Amino acid sequence: MFELSPFYQELLTSLNRGLLMSIALIIPSAIGGVLIGIIAGSLRTFGDPVVKAIGDTYAAIFRGTPLVIQLFILYFGLPNIGIYLSPYVAAVVGFTLCSGAYQSEYVRGALLSIKSGQYLGAQALGFTTLQVIFWIIVPQAVRRAIHGCGNEIIYLIKYSSLAFIVTCVELTGEGKTIATEYFRFTEVFTILGLYYLGLVSLAMVILKKIEQRLYVPGFGHN
């Protein structure tokens, strides 16, 4: 019977442990990012000038600065003003805010693509502005933004590896620890890459199912 060497046994045990942590980082960050994206995208499109300015500033900051810097500020910078976040919380907050900024841009673009006649027609039927946005405009925009939002979730899976820099030991952190201990970097990071490929492939299947679920025949075609 085939038996793994002690090295591979320890490697797989560590990577599986790191995989669970990565999933625990990715899922809340992805959900939070989508929710923030929908809210921020809607406010950036339909809000008053002050609200639009706040939303645009948020998007500009988190899209215009490296995620590494954002994580450093959250974990190492905030303690200087008395705010202490655990490695896990700092990573999730950083990923969520960064992802939400990108998602808001996809949502904003999709909202702007909806013809104004639908907005005016709904108001003529007695809908309030809020009802028009959340019951008529946003559902259509989400369908149009699904591809971009899905790509951002794929990116999130890959840049979740940056959690290691704020001492949150996830998949990459576990792999780096084993590689450093045994000096077998090629083998470790090849297997690590396969883990991420599996995560991304699974996410693509799930996103495809969501797209099919939200599909409306004829929607988006002239």
Consecutive H or E run containing 140: helix 138-159
d(CA 158, CA 171): 10
Q: What fold characterizes domain 6-214?
A: MetI-like fold (1.10.3720)
The verdict on pTM exceeding 0.85 is: yes
DSSP 8-state code for residue 166: G
pLDDT of residue 217: 65
**For the chain, which residues score pLDDT lower than 70?**
1-2, 216-222
d(CA 96, CA 113): 25
pLDDT of residue 222: 44
Consecutive H or E run containing 152: helix 138-159
d(CA 207, CA 200): 10
pLDDT of residue 220: 54
d(CA 35, CA 192): 30
Is the separation of the CB atoms in 164 and 173 below 8 Å? yes
Tokens of 194: 């396969």
pLDDT of residue 125: 79
